[in-house]
Amino acid sequence: MARTVWDSSVGKKTVMAVSGLIMLMYLVAHMIGNLKIFFGPGEFNHYAHWLRTVGEPFMHYEWTLWLIRVVLVVAVIAHAVSAYQLSRRGMKARPSKYVHRKARTSYATRTMRWGGIILGLFIVWHILDLTTGTVHSGGFQEGRPYQNVVDTFSTWYGNVVYLVAMLAVGLHIRHGFWSAAQTLGAGSRTRDRALKTVADILALLLTAGFIAVPVGVMTGVVS
């Protein structure tokens, strides 16, 4: 039954919707945590340490964090594979391009594919920068995330990469949230306007919330 559902286009769209909502919930929590940086290094570093001790003593040190990471990796892979296979299936069903492009197609809709690729590359860079420290500038300091974040956003390329990625996040959420609602049966003629409004607000708040951190470093509010 699972294979039958996965092989269908409806099944793949459902997987995309559910995995997308999982990542959206993580983004909301991640943004709230990021904003703690405005309360100083002590608050932010303590928050980062708390993430590793959640669930103790029932859960061992970092077990909860690794569980969250595994769920996110599965969600990202499921989302990406579903999107790729649906795209390939769509191209096979329509080998030639439409003569006329639909005028109502939004910019976010047309750039979902490239936005997904940008976000995939950003996730890899973000992990190598602030989790493993492999590509981190200024000398990565284990257990001192506040200083590491300031280091990253003290470089022009760190800001450019992050800002471009966060704009892609906003566009992706703006279209993806509404699309997921339609796939899961939450959409209707009476609710469409409300769902699109919620999608716009979520995209705006998350984009602004994430961008606030590099802007804070660039303006000296966070230093």
Query: What pLDDT digit, counting tens, does each position of 13-45 carry?
Result: 999 999 999 999 999 999 999 999 999 999 999
Residue 150 and residue 159: Cα distance in Å, rounded? 11
Residue 100 has pLDDT above 60, yes or no: no
Q: What does pTM read for this prediction?
A: 0.87
Q: Which residues contact 110 (CB under 8 A, 6 or more apart)?
A: none
Checking 129-133 for CB contacts under 8 A at 24+ apart, the result is 129/158
As a dihedral over the C-alpha atoms of residue 130, residue 135, residue 141, residue 147, rounded to 10 degrees, the angle is -60
Q: Which residues contact 180 (CB under 8 A, 6 or more apart)?
A: 16, 17, 18, 20, 21
Query: What pLDDT digit, counting tens, does each position of 133-159 carry?
Result: 999 987 899 889 999 999 999 999 999
Query: What pLDDT digit, counting tens, does each position of 205-219 carry?
Result: 999 999 999 999 999
**Amino acid identity, position 34:** N
Residue 6 has pLDDT above 60, yes or no: yes
Query: Percentage of the chain with pLDDT > 90?
Result: 64
CA 64 to centroid of chain Cα atoms: 20
SS (H, E, C) 55-77: CCCCCCCCHHHHHHHHHHHHHHH
9-34 and 63-93 helices, crossing angle to 10°: 140
The larger pLDDT score, comparing residue 7 to residue 169, is at: 169
* Cα diameter, the chain: 63
Q: Which two tokens stand for residue 127?
A: 């992990």
Residue 125 and residue 173: Cα distance in Å, rounded? 20
Q: Which two tokens stand for residue 97?
A: 């391009």
Contact of 213 with 34, CB cutoff 8 Å: yes
Residue 103 has pLDDT above 50, yes or no: no
The larger pLDDT score, comparing residue 207 to residue 113, is at: 207
CA 34 to centroid of chain Cα atoms: 14
Q: Tokens 């570093």 appear where?
A: 45
DSSP code per residue over 150-176: HHHTTSHHHHHHHHHHHHHHHHHHHHH
When pLDDT is cut at 50, 70 and 90, the band that residue 173 belongs to is: very high
What pLDDT score was predicted for residue 169? 93
Residue 153 and residue 66: Cα distance in Å, rounded? 26
Query: What pLDDT digit, counting tens, does each position of 48-98 carry?
Result: 999 999 999 999 999 999 999 999 999 999 999 998 888 788 777 665 554
What pLDDT score was predicted for residue 96? 55
